[in-house]
Every structure is written in C-alpha cells, then in structure tokens.
C-alpha cells in the first residue's frame, strides 16, 4: 500500500505512545484517522494536538477487551470516514506476575487486552477491509518480548509471542488479497505502559505489586524508565509507515537486541541437530 492521502486509518491505544505517533504520521500523509483509546481525557488531548495540523481527525472511546466496544468503534469509523484501509491493533498493557505471584485476574486482563484486543480488531474490521476491495494493511503491536523471554514468566511475554504468531499466520492467509500485515516488535519505547494499571477495569480486581527483587519488579522499573531512556515513538511510527509501503511483515526498532533473539534461535537449532543426530 503506497497511496495514503484520503484513505482512513484506525488506531487503538492512540491517546499516547506508539499509538499517538502512528496517528501523527498517518495524519501527516493526508489520511483520515480515527483515534481509539479507553482513556477519554487523554484521547481528547491527543485529538486536540493532532487537529492543529490535520483536520480529518476523530476519536472514539474503546475498550479493546470488549468485542462489542470494538465493533461499535468500527461502525463509528466507517460512518465518519468510509472504508478503513489501515488497522493498527496497538493497545497494550504490561501487567506483572512472575512465578512467585501468579494472579489469574492479572493474566486475564493482560490476555484480554494484548491478545484478544488484536483478535477483536481483526474480527471487527477485516470483513469490511476485504469487502471494499481496495488496498489495505494491518499493523499489530507486539514486542521483542514476543521473540525471547528474557523478562521471565509473564502474561506480557505470552501475549506478545501470540501476537507475533497471529501476525505471521494472518499474513499468509491474506496473501494475494491486497491486505498486508506487519508486526512491530519494539524494545523499550518512551510510552506510559508502566502506568497501565491506571486503566485497569474493576472487573479484573486490583493488581498486586510485584515482589521486590523479582523479574517482574525489575521489568516494572525498566518500563518506568521509558519516559526518559526509551526510543522516541515517532521513530518507530516512521518505520511502520515504511513497512506498510513495502509490505514488510516484521518491524524491528532496536537492532541492538538481535543477539538476544539469535541466542534463542541457536538453542532451537541445536535442539533440532541433536534430534537429527
């Protein structure tokens, strides 16, 4: 997909971070952009920011863990701008866990947002994207944690592995239909994911703080440092835009993390060689 002007994009988790950056680059290309987020106040502020240079900006409060909410957002987008050409399943939360504090409620929350949120986006938008017969593209936000589990046992890792796998399968299933698929696997980015609990719905209960000194606590500390030390979200968004143009499946924003993935691949290769031997 190379022609963006006048087309329509829908972005979840768009009130901040990578989502807002994606909305910004799409708007700069002359697209209609519908921003979706569960946080109404931040969503209003994001729209006001983008509206300064892009008049075709809309917003809808959306809980990606709820299929009905996503379906409503899809209908609102089509009503406002017509067919959707780019879908960004970007909303995500961090959660905690670790082997010493396995909280099923936290697992359900993270799985519902990070994994089922992508499923709900595909279910709500794919039929329309196929029906309008124009070029389209889906972007799913995963993580380097979807390719290696250096942060340990956690719902975040589990869901991001799933998003990578779903994206790979989706790309194969849609090959030849004019709908591309990309999965972005960033390392640390300057986002507010460390403060995900601010939007945790009551139905998932109150999340327990990770045990001091554990991997989950270390991850929380690293995420909290994103506000200063992580990658500029705009840099990642520009890579996504190029991936859409070239129909690239994988988007890696942190090339310095390749060694971590290579170590996993080497272990897998060694296991196959042992079996073959």
Does the annotation mark 156 as catalytic?
yes
Using the structure block, give the residue that is written with the tokens 């701008």.
81
Break the chain down into helix, strand, coil percent, rounded to 5: 55, 15, 30
Annotated catalytic residue within 81, 156, 161, 204? 156
Kindly list the distances between the CA atom of residue 160 and the CA atoms of 18, 56, 117, 224, in Å, as whole numbers in the listed order: 16, 32, 12, 19
Residue pair 244/139 in contact (Cβ under 8 Å)? The answer is yes
Using the structure block, give the residue that is written with the tokens 């082997």.
99
Q: Can you tell me the distance from the alpha carbon of 176 to that of 147, in angstroms, rounded to the nearest whole number?
A: 27
CB-CB neighbours of 65 under 10 Å = 24
Q: Can you tell me the distance from the alpha carbon of 112 to that of 109, in angstroms, rounded to the nearest whole number?
A: 5
Catalytic residues: 156
């Amino acid at each position: 997909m190379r022609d963006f002007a006048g087309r329509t994009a829908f972005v979840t988790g768009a009130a901040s971070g990578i989502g807002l950056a994606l909305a910004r680059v799409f708007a700069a290309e002359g697209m209609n952009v519908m921003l979706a987020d569960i946080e109404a106040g931040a969503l209003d502020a994001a729209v006001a920011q983008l509206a300064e240079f892009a008049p075709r900006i809309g917003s809808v409060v959306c809980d990606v863990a709820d299929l009905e909410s996503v379906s409503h957002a899809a209908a609102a987008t089509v009503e406002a701008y017509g067919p959707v050409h780019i879908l960004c399943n970007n909303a995500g939360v961090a959660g905690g866990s670790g082997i010493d504090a396995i909280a099923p409620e936290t697992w359900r929350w993270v799985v519902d947002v990070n994994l089922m949120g992508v499923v709900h986006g595909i279910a709500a938008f794919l039929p329309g994207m196929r029906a309008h017969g124009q070029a389209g593209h889906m972007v799913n936000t995963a993580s380097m944690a979807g390719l290696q589990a250096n942060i340990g046992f956690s719902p975040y890792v589990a869901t991001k592995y799933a998003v990578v796998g779903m994206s790979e399968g989706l790309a194969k299933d849609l090959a030849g239909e004019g709908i591309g698929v990309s999965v972005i696997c960033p390392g640390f980015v300057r986002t507010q994911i460390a403060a995900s609990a601010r939007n945790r719905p009551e139905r998932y209960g109150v999340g327990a703080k990770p045990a001091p000194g554990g991997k989950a606590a270390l991850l929380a500390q690293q995420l909290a440092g994103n506000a200063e030390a992580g990658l500029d979200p705009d840099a990642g968004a520009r890579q996504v835009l190029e991936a859409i143009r070239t129909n690239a499946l994988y988007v890696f924003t942190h090339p310095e993390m390749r060694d971590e993935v290579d170590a996993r691949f080497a272990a897998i290769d060694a296991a196959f060689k042992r079996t073959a031997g």
